[in-house]
Structure 1
Amino acid sequence: MLGIACGGGERRAESPSPTQTDRSADEMGLAAGEGEGTAGAEEAPPPAPPPVTVVAGEHAPIEGATPTLRITQPRANQVIRTGNAIVRVQVTNWPLEAPQGRHVHLIIDDEPYIAIRDVGQPLDLNALSQQHLGHDLAEGTHVVRMFPSRGHHESVKDAGAFGAVMFHYRTRTEGFEFDATQPLLTYSRPKGCNPAGERVLLDFFLTNTEIGPEGNRVHWRIDDQEGDITQWVPHWIENLQEGEHSISLELRGADGTPVPGRFNSTTRTFTVASSCPS
């Protein structure tokens, strides 16, 4: 190439200096050393996964009358001296289905719920604890909470569709306090193993309280992310990666302080996997 000098004259193209860097490879889009082997080249790191988000859903419709639930046994503060702890419950407007479909969630204290699909017979808490929770029902004071659930485990969110009772098995637990008339958060989902690639249901039951942008709220924390829920509707967790996850739900006031209550803060673990047991 010929250079054009000021004044219109011509000059010979200069030879490159022996110390000048040859930029031709860069200009051609070639990496330094390409053509001489790729040893030592670093691969670009994989993109970071999208952040976990919690989004509000919509209530599933109720066909017919609103379900109701009432625990008739044991009585409040009853001491069960002999025999097993037996629960009897009356459920109306919610025919149960087995092996899938509508059912009732039964929660002993603050353990994971047990899906109940037949309330026509007395429920033996000792047997249920052994079968589903893997341990004996401990002697002492307990609280049982129950509410109707849809086939995909979303709770029926109506004040009449909830029952709770405190009782004492063999003996009373000193210092155990539970007031069923106070604001209460009952954790439900997520639980167990959840299929990868699908959003995961986050669900709970509220009693004696409402939540809203200017009032009480349910604070969630999933692994290292957190936020507030201000609508009592089913929520969905999106972008969960495979593996074990930790979740906590806590009932808080408008100022962010915890609402007092034995069960108003719950922490659980659950998994997301490509294949879950049936």
Structure 2
Amino acid sequence: MLSNRFLLLIITTLAALFIVGCSGKQDNANTTATSTVTPPPNQALIVASAPQAVLDQRKARGEQDEAKPDLHVVSPAEGAVINGSVVGVKLHLAGDLKGYKPHKDPDTQKGNHVHVIMDNEPYEAYYELEQPFELRNVVAGKHTLRVFPSRPWHESYKSEGAFRMVTFTVKGGGDASKPTTTNSGQTMANNNAAGSAQTPGEGKDMKPSMAGDVDPTKPMITYSRPKGEYKGAEADPIMIDFWLSNARLKGDGGEYRVRYIIDDDEPRFIDKWEPVWLSGWLAGKHTVRLE
């Protein structure tokens, strides 16, 4: 039955997030996303509308939400072999942009950006495409880089050409006991540094992972949100968002469904490729899984 046909992730997706209560206290900031999680009692999540703050931003942005960005990976090239542990990432943005341009507002520290994902790790936001973006201490082996443009509230653009994926191989790579970072110091991958005493950055407290062989012609989910820590108004509701490749969901005229599981709760289903906002989160640590 079509109702029982789900998208199987080519890359396993599991992310952790914190909901911080009024006190702002975190009980266990170093627990990994794949460890046992005891969900808060009596949590009853419901599907909600996008928050008013997001609706206001959409209105203020004019035509930008109707943009159809066409993103290209200039480097690394598909199949590139890189000698050394530093990988430069260069992107080119074209298409019907309607004013869309990645940029971080210095006052709000938010803005349009591109989600950059290496292997099966959480994304890092790339705001200024004219400035260098480097992956440092990349370990030897085959890697996958995925990119797609996003809005200030991290909702991805889902038009054709917005998503790109390349694979590359690193020889003579970095120190596997240390994380892979960007040139600005943001963690891109934990490698084998999961036992480090340093508190992980936003959404990066995950076990080391390599993408392995990825078939770009098969159905695939690229996880995006939620990740990291949510406080105050940002914690209710919270958005689930992802990029869907080579498949159509039932509500969009296709034959697939996406199943998502929060903590150890009963599975829920997504039939249209659009963000899902969930309300009713309780303070504590949660895991989100898509399949």
Task: State the TM-score, normalized to the length of structure 2.
Answer: 0.60
CA contact (8 A) 1:106 1:147 kept: yes
Name the structure 2 match of 1:156: 157
Name the structure 2 match of 1:218: 258
Picking from 119, 127, 151, the partner of 1:109 is 119
Cα deviations by residue, 1:143-189 (Å, 9 ceiling, x for unpaired): 010001000000011121111100001179x9931122221210000
Picking from 225, 249, 267, the partner of 1:189 is 225
Q: Which has the larger radius of gyration?
A: 1
Name the structure 2 match of 1:176: 212
Gaps of 5+ in 1: 1-47, 127-135, 251-278
Over 3 Å counting, the alpha-carbon distance change for 1:120 and 1:180 in structure 2 is same
How far is the alpha carbon of 1:65 from its aligned partner?
A: 4.1
CA contact (8 A) 2:84 2:172 kept: no
Distance 1:83 1:227 in 2: 41
Gaps of 5+ in 2: 1-40, 174-209
Distance 1:227 1:237 in 2: 11
CA contact (8 A) 2:120 2:211 kept: no
How far is the alpha carbon of 1:72 from its aligned partner?
A: 1.4
Name the structure 2 match of 1:234: 275
Name the structure 2 match of 1:206: 244
Over 3 Å counting, the alpha-carbon distance change for 1:245 and 1:82 in structure 2 is closer
Over 3 Å counting, the alpha-carbon distance change for 1:179 and 1:50 in structure 2 is closer
Over 3 Å counting, the alpha-carbon distance change for 1:62 and 1:137 in structure 2 is farther
Name the structure 2 match of 1:51: 44
The amino acid of 2:168's aligned partner reads F
Aligned residues: 193
Fraction of identical pairs, as percent: 33
Task: State the TM-score, normalized to the length of structure 1.
Answer: 0.63
**Which stretch of structure 1 is more off in the superposition, 175-184 or 231-240?**
175-184
Distance 1:230 1:222 in 2: 17
- List structure 1 segments (4+ residues) > 4 angstroms apart after TM superposition: 55-62
CA contact (8 A) 2:76 2:90 kept: yes
Name the structure 1 match of 2:168: 167
The amino acid of 2:133's aligned partner reads L
How far is the alpha carbon of 1:244 from its aligned partner?
A: 0.2
CA contact (8 A) 2:43 2:282 kept: no
The amino acid of 2:120's aligned partner reads D
Q: Where does 1:241-256 land on structure 2 (aligned, <5 Å)?
A: 241-250=282-291
Name the structure 1 match of 2:135: 125
Picking from 73, 82, 86, the partner of 2:88 is 86
The amino acid of 1:236's aligned partner reads W
CA contact (8 A) 1:56 1:234 kept: no
SS of 2:77's partner is coil
